[in-house]
Structure 1
């Protein structure tokens, strides 16, 4: 019997919610200022991992927490690997215990909006609402507001970055994406990860995709055999915090 039930659907998390509270620009500004005060730098990676010396790779997971997140955390712990999780606010509201566990086990948490909309299609006050609401939910669950965000679908522009900066958030993108939501097959996902793995790379996956979690033991074993240390995005930066409004990896 497979570890993860195929009935768990990642796509359920990708349907944007239209029923969120609206706010005036003045209210959004006030909310933004409060959230920026709560933003804290990510917890540092264990000092034994020095990415200036060893070969590091950051595995990142979007769209959780989900039913599959717990088994993924078990696998990461077994392989002594760290990762970065970009969480959806409404999912944190449903599963705050999973968000707490992610933080407690030394992984990094970022903001992935409240309901997964394309931020570039929203007015500024709604972008602020999506990010601010999620900041508060994650802070309530874990005791710390994220210092980074990742825009759903990678949809970003200068306006999105400006709002993120006003909230004290940097933007984390990726060097390679598995498109696991489309592949949905263990071997294909494994091949995708291994083909794009490179030193200081940032690989995008989705923890609500069951096949991704099923593939992780073999992915982690193969990456470690190649000499990779699997770390958080912050560890790749070797202790340098990202500035609000900064994008990493840098946009070309």
Structure 2
């Protein structure tokens, strides 16, 4: 497992800087596609689609799911995508006491690091449930918060045509779109989505690349 994790990190290190050098979001039209709740059963199919299109994305992983599918988590990193923390049990954080919030975040940090060798620098709160207290605790855990500029509500739509229409409606320069790699209809719609976004001139990049290489600051919310 250690060998696989080290290999994943090595491959990721060769992929991410290359993207940063070739894509300057200050000069070209960039868009960050983000996927929550995985890794799931349909994540490998999505990774193949992204790889074929030469697109990079950001995956916010659930700790429990990482423990179930560590190989897929390693594959996400090895293909040059960015990884973030999405809590251990996908719990709504705002009702929880401080200690439990920190446990949700730190346990996931450990699960991701054990699976991939990477300790994430960013997290996304499940359901978007966050407040100043959650953000402060995330800062204690060494995490920046990453939200979105638009959500497809794909978990509710569960229809390829409607999901594609939602992505195209929400797409804008320097946008961050929320989807789920655990929704089969989203994964099925992705080839057509990527094709149309590229036709519209978008460069599909990770959140760190979208931020133009700025270092994510713990306890700060983006975008």
TM-score between the two structures when normalised by the length of structure 1: 0.81
Counterpart for residue 182 of structure 2: 208
CA distance in 1, matches of 2:49, 2:63: 24
Greater Rg by CA: 1
Structure 2: where are the runs of 5+ without partners? 1-15
CA distance in 1, matches of 2:161, 2:20: 31
Counterpart for residue 193 of structure 1: 167
Q: Secondary structure at the match of 2:37?
A: strand
Per-residue deviation, 1:46: 3.6
CA distance in 2, matches of 1:81, 1:242: 22
Task: Tell me, yes or no, if structure 1 residue 138 matches structure 2 residue 106.
Answer: no
Task: Tell me, yes or no, if structure 1 residue 115 matches structure 2 residue 113.
Answer: no
Task: Tell me, yes or no, if structure 1 residue 172 matches structure 2 residue 176.
Answer: no
Task: Tell me, yes or no, if structure 1 residue 227 matches structure 2 residue 209.
Answer: no
User: If each structure's helix is expressed as a fraction of its own residues, which one has the higher value?
Assistant: 2
Cα contact 2:56–2:206 (8 A) shared by 1: yes
Task: Tell me, yes or no, if structure 1 residue 239 matches structure 2 residue 216.
Answer: no
CA distance in 1, matches of 2:126, 2:69: 20
Counterpart for residue 36 of structure 1: none
Task: Tell me, yes or no, if structure 1 residue 49 matches structure 2 residue 31.
Answer: no
CA distance in 1, matches of 2:102, 2:81: 25
Structure 1: where are the runs of 5+ without partners? 1-42
CA distance in 1, matches of 2:36, 2:119: 17
CA distance in 1, matches of 2:118, 2:194: 28
CA distance in 2, matches of 1:238, 1:178: 24
For residues 98-126 of structure 1, what are the alpha-carbon distances to aligned partners after superposition, in whole Å with 9 as ceiling and x for unaligned? 00000000000000000011100100000
2:42 to 46, 54, 68: 68
TM-score between the two structures when normalised by the length of structure 2: 0.92
Task: Tell me, yes or no, if structure 1 residue 163 matches structure 2 residue 137.
Answer: yes
CA distance in 2, matches of 1:121, 1:146: 24
What count of residue pairs does the alignment treat as equivalent?
A: 208
For residues 156-193 of structure 1, what are the alpha-carbon distances to aligned partners after superposition, in whole Å with 9 as ceiling and x for unaligned? 00110111000110000000000000000000000000
For residues 24-76 of structure 1, what are the alpha-carbon distances to aligned partners after superposition, in whole Å with 9 as ceiling and x for unaligned? xxxxxxxxxxxxxxxxxxx5444101111110000000000001000000000
Per-residue deviation, 1:242: 1.4
Per-residue deviation, 1:144: 1.0
Moved segments of 4+, more than 6 Å: none
For residues 193-228 of structure 1, what are the alpha-carbon distances to aligned partners after superposition, in whole Å with 9 as ceiling and x for unaligned? 000100000000000000000000000000000000
CA distance in 2, matches of 1:72, 1:89: 19
Counterpart for residue 125 of structure 1: 99
